[in-house]
Structure 1
Amino acid sequence: MTTIQRQHFGDHQGQAVTLFTLTNSQGMRLCVTNYGCIITQLWVPDRHGQLEDVVLGFDQLADYQAGHPFFGAIAGRCANRIAGGRFTLDGEEFILATNEAPTGQHLHGGRHGFDKYVWQAEEDGDGVIFRRTSVDGEEGYPGNLQVEHRIGLSEENVMTLSFNARTDRPTLVNLVNHSYYNLQGHQRRIDDQWLKIEADFITPVDDSTMLPTGEIVRVAASAFDFRSARRIGDAMLHRPAQDFDVNYMLKPAAGSAGKAVVRPAATLSCPHSGRVMEVHTCLPGIQFYNGFKLSNKVWNGKAGQRYQAFSGLCLETQAFPDSIHHAHFGNVVLRPGEEYHSRTEHRFSTVA
């Protein structure tokens, strides 16, 4: 049975911040805080039963408060990029922060997105439920949005990330967990790990803006082809800057008739440790980012470990980036009377 312990992690703007530690009977351990719903630690056994923390992050709350590249955090109200920080909904234009300095785009909810708030939290069986109301006008978004985010850890070594939201006014919603994974821990790069993505297509971006062009392009015979498991370092050799930061269009579940059902999205495996992480989701896309920008600043992580380019990778299950400006990408508009819901599972196992 999964147990949950809580401890004081610090304070943020006069509010107490709590760290929850979830541990199952197999010894797998998940630590998450109600500041930004950040997953701070994830200890997973290798083929010999030895535990290793497989997510990047910090030991102290102050390091998260000082700013970071979304290590383990929730991204919202609308994750990924929105062109020019502007969108029109029902004939009304809304202006958002253009907070991604290199590109001038709106990114991951703005300057004070969901990752920078203290959430209400309560234990719920083998998980923790985090709640907050994002008020009308917050970061320029319309509507009072009630959000519920549940993070759980099962006896079967499955970490589950669920989101629910309701609004009193039409708005945009795309909620993402932004953990950086390295199945070998914090001492080595991700080059030797293998990745498979259940997608035949990507939504390519303009390299100067990192915005989708609107095209949907086949991955076959390209650097982006992970339809079969592929060593990440080998794929990186076929990119100009060894870079990956792109959305994959996931295959629908067989017989689902387009319905949002949980199905395989990606598999990350580490030959050295034997760890395997299978990602399953009901969402239409997954953003593969290989951490190539981590060397742009100095990030001194856990136990003083410096995180540099390719220290970890993200597999962010999501709606497509900038969907509000590309009707064929799918709907990210939530209206009163509707409920936003998503579920992603990270299933951990080992191979000999």
Structure 2
Amino acid sequence: MHFKSYVTAALYGLPALANAVPSPSHSQAASPSPSAAGSNVDHFKSYTIKAENITATLIPYGARLTSLLVPDRDGNVQDVVVGYDDPKEYLHDSETNRTFFGAVVGRYANRIKNGTFTIDAKDYHVPENENDGVDTLHGGFVGYDMRNWTVTSHSDSSITFTLFDQGFEGFPGDVITHATFSVSAEKTQFNPKGLPQLTSKLVALSLTEKTPIMLANHIYWNLNAFKESNVLKDTTLQLPLSQRFIGGDSILIPNGTIHDVETTYQGALDFTSPKLIGKDIEKTYDLCGAGCTGYDTCFLVDRPSTYASNSLVTALSASSSSTGISLDVATNQAALQIYTCSGQNGSIATKNSQAKRNKANGGDAGATHVNKYGCFVIETEDWIDGINNPEWGRVPYQVFGPDDGPAVNWATYQFGTI
């Protein structure tokens, strides 16, 4: 099947892709999302959730975050995520670039070597959609980013999308996933200052067979709101718990090795203390693939020994000197995939709404296109391709059956100013 046909089938023609069942926590059953023909269901409808000093907009297509508004140091509202003003552009993106802008990716995020894995001595094969058929990326040709999720709950400050995946793309068994996004600015144990915060909870249950499950949000961030052409000299990054990273080959497939950030690539991957994203980037040649300079790296989150392995910890801090916007990411996951947009080349325009805000705030329009290094992605997830590297001990955290508990990816994104 031609790639565009995959997209069209995923969006309109396959009942298994179109239907979802409601969350057990909601007593009222939601109507399944039918195919587009004869349907008034709009999978590109924008849903907005708000709290003090934070507004998020999402769409059912890919359970996708399309904008996130927070104040900068001057009190001006800025949109700090990459995407499109017109929600239907995400379908065109799927058919062409497939950037995964703002989407939930799965059933298995990141890469699977050779598109194969083994569970209980049985081999499985899923479509290899990257590197000319060498590996599977973010679930295959039609991952969760290209599926129509059903809105099963929506309030002023929270929304839940649900997807029922009936063994699509060769993955074994049926899985139901609930993706809940909420915003708040209340003082809590995890937010003692009451800062604006986005919370993401991705909960997936295997219903019939053992299967790999590893979900992630694929949000592209730009804390300078495109006031600068890129983030290299503007954005400071810290990964306080990441002293190790997973090694890969020339096409970013894990090769089974674990490296110390301090002693590899002349310390370019050492973000245990804050530093500009671009400070050591010239030392990373070949790190993000053959001939590529930049980061596309799975950093391990090594919790202190007194913490539970799935405890919520602050694993990343970032800030922009241009806007003063700061971001702290806490997660229950064991790794962070950090990608510094080395594959962007200026062919995708930034949002008109972002340019208008920059002009309204007394400046120029800023960057008009998403340039190389013009953003960065934070994927909170488990160890990349852990299902094919059992010596790492991550299989119990990546393979789930009907007798197991759910796979839970919990992350908070807390905003302030410097």
Instruction: Report the TM-score, using the length of structure 2 for normalisation.
Output: 0.77
Structure 2 counterpart of 1:312, from 375, 380, 393: 375
Give the total of aligned pairs: 336
Per-residue CA deviation, residues 66-109 of structure 1 (Å, 9 max, x unaligned), is 12311101110000000011111112211111111357210001
Structure 2 counterpart of 1:206, from 232, 236, 249: 249
Partner of 1:54: 80
Partners of 2:222 and 2:305 lie apart in 1 by 30
**1:126 Cα deviation (Å)?**
2.4
Distance 1:311 1:13, change over 3 A: farther
Partners of 2:162 and 2:182 lie apart in 1 by 15
**1:327 Cα deviation (Å)?**
1.2
Partner of 1:101: 131
**1:337 Cα deviation (Å)?**
2.1
Distance 1:187 1:12, change over 3 A: farther
Per-residue CA deviation, residues 103-130 of structure 1 (Å, 9 max, x unaligned), is 7210001111111111111215621011
Is 1:286 the counterpart of 2:336? The answer is yes
Is 1:298 the counterpart of 2:343? The answer is no
Partner of 1:179: 219
Aligned residue identity for 1:298: S
Aligned residue identity for 2:219: S
Structural mapping, 1:320-335, within 5 Å: 320-329=383-392, 330-331=394-395, 332-335=398-401
**1:45 Cα deviation (Å)?**
0.7
Structural mapping, 1:16-95, within 5 Å: 16-17=42-43, 18-26=45-53, 28-66=54-92, 67=94, 68-95=98-125
SS of aligned partner of 1:101: coil
Distance 1:103 1:190, change over 3 A: farther
| Native 8 Å contact 2:73 2:324 kept in 1 | yes
| Native 8 Å contact 2:330 2:411 kept in 1 | yes
| Native 8 Å contact 2:69 2:78 kept in 1 | yes
Partner of 1:135: 166
**1:230 Cα deviation (Å)?**
0.7
Partners of 1:125 and 1:272 lie apart in 2 by 31
| Native 8 Å contact 2:216 2:409 kept in 1 | no
| Native 8 Å contact 1:278 1:346 kept in 2 | yes
Is 1:147 the counterpart of 2:177? The answer is yes
**1:301 Cα deviation (Å)?**
3.5
Partners of 2:209 and 2:116 lie apart in 1 by 17
Give the strand-richer structure, 1 or 2. Answer: 1
SS of aligned partner of 1:139: helix
Is 1:166 the counterpart of 2:205? The answer is yes
| Native 8 Å contact 1:12 1:118 kept in 2 | no
Structure 1 counterpart of 2:231, from 190, 197, 206: 190
Backbone CA RMSD of aligned residues: 1.8
- Larger-Rg structure: 2
SS of aligned partner of 2:269: coil
| Native 8 Å contact 1:253 1:263 kept in 2 | no
Distance 1:253 1:151, change over 3 A: farther
Is 1:276 the counterpart of 2:301? The answer is no
**1:12 Cα deviation (Å)?**
7.8
Partner of 1:336: 402
Instruction: Report the TM-score, using the length of structure 1 for normalisation.
Output: 0.91
Aligned residue identity for 1:300: A
Is 1:247 the counterpart of 2:298? The answer is yes
SS of aligned partner of 1:58: coil
Aligned residue identity for 1:131: T
- The list of structure 1 runs, each at least 4 consecutive aligned residues, that deviate by more than 3 angstroms after superposition, is 11-15
SS of aligned partner of 2:114: helix
| Native 8 Å contact 1:103 1:210 kept in 2 | no
Distance 1:12 1:287, change over 3 A: farther
| Native 8 Å contact 1:134 1:145 kept in 2 | yes
Partner of 1:8: none
SS of aligned partner of 1:65: helix
| Native 8 Å contact 2:82 2:220 kept in 1 | yes
Aligned residue identity for 1:42: L
Partner of 2:361: none
Aligned residue identity for 1:182: N
Partners of 2:279 and 2:154 lie apart in 1 by 43
Partners of 2:409 and 2:384 lie apart in 1 by 16
| Native 8 Å contact 2:142 2:169 kept in 1 | yes
| Native 8 Å contact 1:166 1:337 kept in 2 | no
Per-residue CA deviation, residues 219-243 of structure 1 (Å, 9 max, x unaligned), is 0142111010011111212122431
Is 1:236 the counterpart of 2:281? The answer is yes
Per-residue CA deviation, residues 21-43 of structure 1 (Å, 9 max, x unaligned), is 112223x2111111101110011
**1:135 Cα deviation (Å)?**
0.4
Is 1:261 the counterpart of 2:327? The answer is no
Partners of 1:247 and 1:24 lie apart in 2 by 32
Aligned residue identity for 1:43: L
